[in-house]
Amino acid sequence: MRSNKLKPLVIGDITIEHPLALAPMAGVTDLPYRLLCKEQGAGMMCTEMVSAKGLYYGNRKSEPLMATDPKEIPIAIQIFGSDPEIMGQMAAKVNDGRFQMIDINMGCPVPKIVNNGDGSALMKNPELAGKVIKAVVDAVDIPVTVKIRKGFNDELINAPEMAQVAQENGAAAIAVHGRTREQYYSGTADWSIIRKVKEAVDIPVIGNGDITCAKDVLRMQEETGCDGFMIGRRAKGNPWIFKEILHFFETGEEMPRPSLEEVVAMMLRHGQMMIDFKGEYIGVREMRKHVAWYTFGFPGAAKLREKVNHTETYEDLEVMAEAKKNILTPDGLKALEDELQELKVVRRKEIAQKIKEAREQGDLSENAEYDAAKDEQRDMEARIEEIEKILKNAVVIDEKFEKGVISLGCHVLLEDITLGKEVTYHIVGSTEADILQNKISNEAPIGRALLGKKIGDVVSVEGINQVNDFRVIDVQRK
């Protein structure tokens, strides 16, 4: 049994009990979503990135990004910029008690940031990066952390050097994403660079890139020796990932994934929090992308994404969520295949045409349409890669899945009438064991009794000392 293997993360004079950080993601990790992740066990929180120049010139869009809640403590504000003087002044300005740390973004790959010399562009100029870090450190009395990438491109892999520059100029911790700027989020994160950074500095190192589950955290811990673990894209629509990781390290066991009912409940609560924070018009529209993330992988998710784009009120969200509970018959595999076909055949051509038209306009350095189309193209290719990986590893079950009817591959929620408790089983086509964690063989007594049953049915199963009666509460195909 594994127990207490995750040590607290110490950054300066701050001790973070759970060394699990929610990566700052623009348009994702706003206050409502950070609170949900904090409830699930995320230890280190960070705002969406805030422009130092935006603060300097009084951009009204900056203040909402800095909204916090006492429940988030300790929380960092992430700022970006490449002018040491402005960065120092604005760091001092936000050092007003709301934040316990300041994080400097030197890893953002987005063209409009990089083209201004900010974000991951600083990976090309360690000397300037050092001046920016020193200016911020000298301006505040709270720990300063820095987020970097493996390098700018394959010809410039310099994360260890950048980490040393950060340490020499007073940074209290460094977060490393195992991809270059040119990779964005494609390909596989190189965890060996995280190990090299860890070997190069004495300050805490936080690993980032391709953490999808508790076992990934364990593997990163063993391969890199890093002190903390930052989770980004896998946390989209999945605040439970933090709870699942903590559970694994405390018990050695993997938690069952949340049921559809739990997902819907969280989704609706998130929607209400967004409305409370941003108003119904903006809140509901921003929830559209979150709904797509929450429901990814569930049967019928592709159709749901079509519907969610028409939601305008909280009542619309409720109606859509209720409909989602009843989508049990569409094959999730078929939905992914359809989505992949649309991306490859339709969307690729559409985006390629946008890029072509933008190029025909001439100078691309200040062409917003071109940058937007390239961003869209990168996101699309990342999604294609993700779907292809899922399809490659998919276990296809030939039996027809009828609504509410138990077959191989189903997750079944049962009420144990005899013992008065609920239990979840995953029906597998194996004769290896009767019960293994939450898996049950179709050849086991209870497996044979459940196959073909539907919601509401009661089955009796003879145990060692007694006969237990089970009522089928819910059936899901995953």
Q: Which amino acids are annotated catalytic?
A: 108
3-state secondary structure of 115: coil
Task: Return d(Cα 228, Cα 244) in angstroms, integer.
Answer: 16
Tell me the chain's radius of gyration from C-alpha atoms: 24
Selection from 473, 446, 474 nearest residue 459 by Cα: 446
Instruction: Tell me the β-bridge partners of 102.
Output: 77, 144
- Sequence length of the chain is 478
Helices 159-168/191-200 angle, 10° precision: 30
Selection from 131, 130, 109 nearest residue 119 by Cα: 109
3-state secondary structure of 405: strand
Task: Return d(Cα 459, Cα 466) in angstroms, integer.
Answer: 14
DSSP letter string, 287-315: HHHHHHHHTTTSTTHHHHHHHHTT--SHH
Selection from 115, 123, 112 nearest residue 148 by Cα: 123
3-state secondary structure of 317: helix
Structure tokens at 308: 């969610």
Selection from 3, 16, 10, 66 nearest residue 42 by Cα: 16
3-state secondary structure of 261: helix
User: Under a CB-based contact definition with an 8 Å cutoff, are residues 409 and 397 in contact?
Assistant: yes
Task: Return d(Cα 376, Cα 247) in angstroms, integer.
Answer: 36
Look-up of token digits 């201004």:
116
Q: Name the pairing type of β-strands 45-46 and 75-80.
A: parallel
Q: Is the dihedral of CA 71, 73, 77, 78 positive or negative?
A: negative
Structure tokens at 414: 């049962």
The distance from CA 351 to its chain's CA centroid, rounded to whole angstroms, is 26
User: Under a CB-based contact definition with an 8 Å cutoff, are residues 200 and 160 in contact?
Assistant: yes
